[in-house]
Chains A and B, each alone.
Chain A
Amino acid sequence: MTQDIISEKNLVYKPSSLLTNTTFNFCPGCGHGTVVRLVMEVVEEMGIQSETIGLSPVGCSVLLYDFYKIDIIQAAHGRAPAVATGLKRMLPDKFVFTYQGDGDLAAIGTGETIHACNRGENFTIIYINNGIYGMTGGQMAPTTLPGMKTSTTPHGRDVATAGHPLSMTNIVAALDGSYFVTRQSVHTPAAVRKTKRALRTAFESQKLNKGTSFVEVVCSCHSGWKMTPLQANRWMEEHMFPYYPPGDLKVDGRQLKIGNDLSVVA
């Protein structure tokens, strides 16, 4: 009955042709997979495959280059913004993006992130915040929530000894070098469409050379959180969003006020 519909001319959605045939190595339902897909959809729609170079981190997405048909550099843990700085300074007219997790960007790479954004390096940072170190087996990350159980906070993160959840996106938004700073998610179709638009805005902003574009995507890590994928997405809405509220923090170089973010100036 529906077989007649399935033909090339009726195709309305298919994964980007810039993806290789390699199946993703992420856990079932992981937001990484969705974002990894969206980035290539944006690159393909902008027609910039030959102009784009990606940087993969150390973390769940370290094998990004197995999935992408573009040139890629795999950077040392936390150093992608510095590597991207060296690359973009050599190839100022190419599109460059880093793809990093919260351990990579907000822990070991804090310095590189802040200084690249402070210099207003003209590339896009894609930052997956799932509140945990996924690849190494679920340890606490700087973004882990108070009381949240991980393999290194088995009794729940105690802020008195392990510090508070760190929002790099707010810090980056406050730096004069950042131009477009947003926080998104991919746990519902509507959120996915918004994230794709945000990624497109970020890549397009590289044409203006007015500063760093920074797209945080709050994702679930159900393996680390020890839930099913669907439970994890619901848990994320209830517990992660209060700390990391989705929305644009900075557009056209101007900071915006979102949610209950006290640290954002209008």
Chain B
Amino acid sequence: MKELRLLKGNEAVAEAAIRAGADAYFGYPITPQSEIMEYLVDRQPETTTGMVILQAESEVAAINMVYGASAAGRRVMTSSSSPGISLMTEGISYLAGAELPCLIVNVTRGGPGLGTIQPSQADYFQSVKGGGHGDYRLLVLAPASVQEMADFVALGFDLAFKYRNPVMMLADGVIGQMMEKVELPKPLPKRETVEAWAVTGKTPERERNVITSLNLDALKHERHNLKLQAKYRQMEREDTRYDTYLCNDAEYIITAYGASARISKKTVDLARDKGIKVGLFRPVTLFPFPSKELATVSQHVEGILSVEMSAGQMIEDVLLATRCRVPVRHFGRNGGVVHAPGEILEALEQFINSKEKQHQE
């Protein structure tokens, strides 16, 4: 029997976390995602699944609490928004270095600095290209609906434990704050498995475990780094995810993720009504980026319009994926302004007209 609810994206994440059998949430208030912690404490999961919820004194403390709970082999998560994620970034680098799984929900807002509380996608580089010190990546899932906000929690935990690597859900204020019908995932049974690498107290039958990202022997640390890189290659092979809409006969393609993808889908419909053959290519994992798939889909197109609520960051991965063989143009509002479908259509038409003029010259 389906459980349908009308929930905000943030609330869907919280409800899904309890149902996914998360062991702990450590967080700190920051707009536009505070509802996640508020929803969790209100549901009092400590009385049902035993999930611990704790508000920390800072994002720095919160991510380090995640580090401690994850070191015990538990399913632990946090959530924050742009400035908070910047504070957490040292801890995230430590988590990746120490190979600790966890889920980090990032509901981004306009930057830089204190910026705005309105939505933005200007944290793509920070979230997808590592963001902290050292060669590491997060597996980044980009939800574009309240349903995906719910579905990606359990998925995120599974991927985090599969790779022993932090996983980030990169949403934004639109996806976090909007309300939508959502089918709630079925509660998972309590996980009893104890991770062999976890620190739970050295018992006679095993060697002691150490959770550390430190290695003073450079050659040993190089081997460790190559091991991390191998994980990212495996992610690329096994867990790249994307979505397409009307790309088969498309002469132009819009690439967009998250909220921009939702809005661009409307643009595709508007354009199709005017006879413009355009399709939408939506990366669902931003790392690993669906490069091969985008290259294939865009082989015969005239051009790609990369739509992001930023000055253009994912566009670099689009250019890399298509080896610059296809003209790519950026469109996007900045600072916290959310572009409308019509604006994107205008940009697309300008792009098409400028291309045709080139043909005539």
A interface residues (Cβ-Cβ under 8 A, vs B): 49-53, 55, 62-63, 65, 68-76, 79, 82-91, 94, 111-112, 114-115
Contacts and interface: CB of A to CB of B under 8 A. Distances in A.
Contact of A87 (B54, B71, B90, B210): B71
Contacts of A111: 57-58, 60-61
A136 to B, nearest CB: 14
A90 B211 contact: no
Contact of B68 (A52, A71, A83): A83
A25 to B, nearest CB: 10
A253 B181 CA distance: 51
Contact of A52 (B66, B201, B204): B201
A73 B201 contact: no
Contacts of B138: none
Sorting the interface of chain B by its residue count into under 10, 10 to 19, 20 to 34 or 35 or more gives: 35 or more
A79 B60 CA distance: 8
B68 A87 contact: yes
Contacts, number: 130
B54 A85 contact: yes
Contact of A112 (B61, B74, B208): B61
Contacts of A51: 201
A253 to B, nearest CB: 22
Given A49-B202, A53-B199, A69-B202, A90 B57 contact: no
Given A50-B204, A73-B199, A83 B57 contact: no
Contact of A71 (B24, B52, B201): B201
B53 to A, nearest CB: 10
Nearest to A91: B72
8 contacts: A53-B199, A70-B201, A72-B199, A75-B64, A83-B65, A86-B69, A86-B76, A94-B200
Given A63-B214, A72-B210, A86-B67, 9 more contacts: A65-B210, A69-B202, A73-B199, A82-B68, A83-B65, A89-B24, A90-B68, A91-B72, A114-B57
Contacts of B66: 86
Nearest to B207: A69
Contact of B211 (A70, A74, A89): A74
B208 A71 contact: yes
A76 B94 contact: yes
B67 A53 contact: no
B350 interface: no
Contacts of A49: 201-202
Given A72-B208, A86-B26, A112 B57 contact: yes
Contacts of A71: 199-202, 208-210
A74 B94 CA distance: 10
A111 B58 CA distance: 9
B191 to A, nearest CB: 13
Contacts of A90: 23-24, 52, 68-69, 72, 74, 76
Contacts of B229: none
Given A75-B64, A75-B67, A89 B57 contact: no
A115 B57 contact: yes
Given A50-B203, A51-B201, A87 B212 contact: no
B213 interface: yes
Nearest to A119: B54
B56 interface: yes
B212 A65 contact: yes
A69 B201 CA distance: 10
B68 A85 contact: yes
Given A50-B204, A72-B210, A82 B65 contact: yes
B101 interface: no
Contacts of A112: 57, 60-61, 64
A86 B68 contact: yes
Interface string B20-61: 000110100000000000000000000000001010111011
Contacts of A84: 68
